[in-house]
Structure 1
Amino acid sequence: MDTTSSSPSKVEIFKGSGVMVDKLAWAYAVNANSCTTFVRQLLTAVFPPEVLLVSNLRGTNKGKGEARLPLEKTKVDAIYNATLERWPGTPLSLVGSSINGKITEMRNKVKQQK
């Protein structure tokens, strides 16, 4: 995990990915006590809420409701790689379900506020 960057307030989440997050968001993620929390913290640091609310991991249209856009592959790959570096042996399916779970939770919160 590279903490050097061109901007002193940003950190590259996985060396060579070019995906940057605020140092504070990175600190929250790194101090997570589980892989799932790590992924969820990084997800919300990498993607703005307005993108997450209309997306899911791979993008789908299940015939009911709106089609979901896929998340940007470069950023998703960086999250996967950072997770596997920090939490070796993590099943890829756990990372994906953590991403979609966080997005679903965000969508449900917005629905409840309406």
Structure 2
Amino acid sequence: MARAYNRPIGLNDPTAHAEVLALRSAAARLGNYRLPGTTLYVTIEPCLMCLGALIQARVGRLVFGAPDPKGGACVSLYRLPEDPRLNHHLEVTGGVREAECRELLQEFFKARR
């Protein structure tokens, strides 16, 4: 339905994370900002902003590879999906192909430095 990658520098937009861009694209394609029944697959655990956007879009399921101890909002730094005060709860599956995702991220950042 949609795919994206991080573009905050290229777009001069601090919200241009891959998750947010994918949500925007999917919502435009479907003509609806709510995306129930959808699954988002990401390499690294989403940050607080991105997870908030997933919740607002009513995404049904999130699958991520590597945890993010510095900014992860699912299990690492925060546990937002477990908050009973939220109106929408999405299913979260983490650690899928974790080693492969971690290696991808390490290679990406090594090439940028």
Same fold (TM over 0.5): no
Q: Which has the higher strand share?
A: 2
With a CA cutoff of 8 Å and minimum separation of 6, indicate the structure with the bigger relative contact order: 1
When normalised by structure 2's length, the TM-score is 0.30
Q: If each structure's helix is expressed as a fraction of its own residues, which one has the higher value?
A: 1
